[in-house]
């Protein structure tokens, strides 16, 4: 590594997995249903399918920086607090190459978004009316819903809730998350795409 702490070369002769950061951004408004920010993919694989904002980590950034950068590049939205959720490493989760993703999540006030970079569109979707999702994103969001439900029941939700959120919005947010358990979120079969 040079003085800037940037790697100057790779020193291992075997192939490496690519690392991505995906970010599930929940939009809240006390008068609306909880929403999720999705982007329509401009490129293959899964061209024209909806997915979480995210992408490949650059060599000189950490995962949270990558998640924030990708959301900004693809939607124009600057994120506040971002929480790391879980990693996903199924060998075949991405048809392009071996990709490990680290999923993050954030809660933000609903804001105008616009698709940019490799996202053809960006849009908020009601959590109980999500479209078909690319990759393994349906499974990921289902597992995040289960995690958030456990967090609420264990009084840890305040650790993950956005700063400055009014109590009525926080109450609506927790009600919406608890409602998620009633929703059906089956994994998507790739043959349906």
- Burial of residue 20 (CB within 10 Å: 0-12, 13-18, 19+) is buried
Position 48 scores a pLDDT of 97
User: Quick one: fold of 18-192?
Assistant: Nucleoside Triphosphate Pyrophosphohydrolase (3.90.79)
Selection from 77, 105, 76 nearest residue 173 by Cα? 105
Question: Is 121 marked active-site?
Answer: yes
Mean pLDDT by 10 residues, the chain (193 residues): 57 88 89 89 97 97 98 97 96 95 94 96 92 96 87 67 63 70 48 41
- Catalytically annotated residue among 44, 81, 112, 121: 121
């Amino acid at each position: 590594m040079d003085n800037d702490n940037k790697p100057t070369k790779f020193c291992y002769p075997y192939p490496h997995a690519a690392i991505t950061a995906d970010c599930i951004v929940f939009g809240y408004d006390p008068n609306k249903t909880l929403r999720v920010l999705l982007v329509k993919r401009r490129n293959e694989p899964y061209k024209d399918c909806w997915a979480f904002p995210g992408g490949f980590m650059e060599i000189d950034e950490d995962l949270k920086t990558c998640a924030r950068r990708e959301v900004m590049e693809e939607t124009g939205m600057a994120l506040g607090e971002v929480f790391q959720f879980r990693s996903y490493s199924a060998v075949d989760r991405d048809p392009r190459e071996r990709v490990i993703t680290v999923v993050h999540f954030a809660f933000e006030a609903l804001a105008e978004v616009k698709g940019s970079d490799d996202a053809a569109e960006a849009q908020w979707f009601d959590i109980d009316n999500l479209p078909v999702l690319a990759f393994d994103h349906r499974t990921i969001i289902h597992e995040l819903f289960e995690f958030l439900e456990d967090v609420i029941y264990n009084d840890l939700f305040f650790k993950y809730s956005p700063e400055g959120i009014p109590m009525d919005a926080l109450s609506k947010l927790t009600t919406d998350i608890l409602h998620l358990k009633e929703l059906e979120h089956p994994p998507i079969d790739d043959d349906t795409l």
